[in-house]
């Protein structure tokens, strides 16, 4: 039995660091990925697709998001798609998931709205653990799998949330207990545990049967190997075969560099120039080192030019420590003349200090260097 495991589509998501040009492209990319997931399901003749929670960014998404989601789900026609409510879109009174399942032309889309086993076909069950509120008071997966027996039925658990071995919140009553799931896999009561909530593709435990698929498109620079779905083959005679298939198109790379000279600036420029698909790349910079004002001004120009081409450019303040200092020789060579020389001298004194005006003085000196260079 083969199926596709995916999760955390979060359709309708916005990212605060994307501007008015990039955000619509990112929104469309998250929808476009569903076409590729449907293609994976067709190509590999998957019996069904499970979406392990957070289909939508929230229960408050507007009618346009819902309509475009319905259009995207139409691509799966002929393959059952099982939607699990998660923490972003719990099955409360305001849930739009029911409206999706009832949408004209989406007879292949089903909401897993009841905890426990659901028959997919003879000998195959999906064991659902839906969220009905944002703050569960117990382990939903444990409750959904309670009382199952090893009777030859192939069972796939569909859950959402953090397993106890990965959760930093030891007081969270909804943490998913991993050990009982591993025991159930070992004795044949369960055969695969499909989880959502963690955006990085992650295998959990030792059985090889407990996985997070990750999100279909990257959402954060800290994610490891996002943008995948999992093609899962299950039998009752061996561990499941799990194959990640990449469907994402965006990238959120982190570039770290130590800059101490104009040559270092040039090297960074070559690294940034080599980034592919800049219109789908959100770059985070972590820069350290010490630059002269001239080299700092050149860096600013470089980053401004790249920012116009990238989908987003951020500075990771916690991992950055780049200092720009005025060099007496370069100030002497500036030769702006007259009152400007006196202003440059005053700015260089301020820039060399640690006072509240130091950063502004360095920015002003950088501007002088640009203007002086343009006048030559």
pLDDT in tens, 17-70: 999 999 999 999 999 999 999 999 999 999 999 999 999 999 999 999 999 999
Say what the pLDDT of residue 346 is. 73
**Which 3-state string (H, E, C) describes the chain?**
CEEEEECCCCECCCCCCCCCCHHHHHHHHHHHHHHHHHHHHHHCCCCCEEECCCCECCCCCCHHHHHHHHHHHHHHCCCCEEECCCCCCCCCCCCCHHHHHCCCCCCCEEECCCCEEEEEECCEEEEECCCCCCCCCCCHHHHHHCCCCCCCCEEEEEEECCECCCCCCCCCCCCECHHHHHHHHHCCCCCEEEEECCCCCEEECCCCCEEECCCCCCCCCCCCCCCEEEEEECCCCCCCEEEEEECCCCECCEEEEEECCHHHHHHHHHHHHCCCCHHHEEEEEEEEEEEEHHHHHHHHHHHHHHHCCCCEEEECHHHCEEEEECCHHHHHHHCCCHHHHHHHHHHHHHHCCCCCCHHHHHHHHHHHHHHHHHHC
Q: How far apart are CA 90 and CA 130, in angstroms?
A: 8
Domain boundaries along the sequence of the chain: 2-246, 254-375
* Least confident stretch, 113-122, 304-313, 326-335: 326-335
182 pLDDT above the threshold of 70: yes
Higher pLDDT, 177 or 373: 177
What percent of the chain clears pLDDT 70, i.e. is strictly above it?
A: 91
What percent of the chain clears pLDDT 90, i.e. is strictly above it?
A: 79
- pLDDT band, very low/low/confident/very high, at 339 (cuts 50, 70, 90): low
Average pLDDT estimate for 148-163: 96
- pLDDT band, very low/low/confident/very high, at 338 (cuts 50, 70, 90): low
Q: Which CATH superfamily is domain 2-246 in?
A: Metallo-dependent phosphatases (3.60.21.10)
Q: How far apart are CA 23 and CA 187, in angstroms?
A: 47
Q: Find where tokens 């959990």 sit.
A: 204
Q: How far apart are CA 175 and CA 167, in angstroms?
A: 7
- pLDDT band, very low/low/confident/very high, at 347 (cuts 50, 70, 90): confident
320 pLDDT above the threshold of 70: yes
- pLDDT band, very low/low/confident/very high, at 292 (cuts 50, 70, 90): confident
pTM of the model: 0.89
344 pLDDT above the threshold of 80: no
- pLDDT band, very low/low/confident/very high, at 79 (cuts 50, 70, 90): very high
């Amino acid at each position: 039995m083969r199926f596709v495991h995916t999760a955390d589509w979060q359709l309708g998501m916005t990212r605060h660091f994307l501007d008015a040009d990039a955000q619509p492209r990112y929104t469309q990319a998250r929808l476009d990925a569903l076409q590729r997931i449907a293609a994976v399901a067709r190509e590999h003749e998957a019996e069904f697709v499970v979406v392990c929670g957070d289909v939508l960014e929230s229960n408050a998404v507007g009618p346009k998001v819902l309509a475009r989601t319905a259009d995207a789900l139409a691509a799966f026609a002929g393959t059952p798609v099982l939607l699990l409510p998660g923490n972003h879109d719990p099955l409360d009174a305001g849930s739009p998931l029911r409206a999706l399942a009832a949408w004209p032309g989406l007879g292949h889309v089903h909401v897993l709205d009841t905890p426990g086993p659901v028959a997919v076909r003879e000998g195959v069950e999906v064991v659902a653990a839906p969220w009905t509120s944002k703050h569960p008071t117990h382990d939903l997966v444990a409750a959904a799998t309670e009382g199952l027996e090893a009777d030859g039925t192939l069972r796939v658990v569909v859950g959402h949330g953090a397993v106890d071995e990965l959760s930093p919140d030891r007081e969270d009553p909804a943490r998913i207990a991993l050990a009982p799931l591993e025991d159930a896999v070992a004795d044949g009561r369960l055969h695969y545990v499909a989880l959502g909530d963690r955006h990085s593709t992650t295998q959990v435990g030792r059985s090889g049967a407990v996985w997070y698929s990750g999100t279909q498109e990257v959402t954060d620079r800290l994610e490891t190997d996002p943008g995948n779905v999992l093609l899962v083959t299950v039998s009752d005679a061996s561990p499941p075969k799990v194959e990640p298939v990449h469907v994402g198109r965006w990238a959120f790379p982190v570039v770290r560099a130590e800059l101490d000279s104009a040559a270092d600036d040039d090297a960074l420029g070559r690294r940034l120039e080599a980034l592919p698909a800049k219109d789908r790349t959100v770059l985070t910079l972590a820069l350290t080192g010490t630059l002269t004002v001239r080299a700092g001004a050149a860096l600013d120009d470089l980053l401004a030019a790249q920012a116009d081409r990238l989908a987003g450019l951020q500075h990771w303040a916690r991992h950055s420590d780049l200092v720009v200092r005025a060099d007496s020789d370069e100030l002497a060579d500036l030769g702006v003349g007259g009152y400007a020389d006196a202003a440059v001298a005053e700015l260089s004194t301020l820039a060399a200090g640690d006072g509240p005006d130091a950063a502004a003085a360095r920015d002003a000196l950088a501007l002088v260097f640009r203007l002086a260079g343009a006048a030559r």
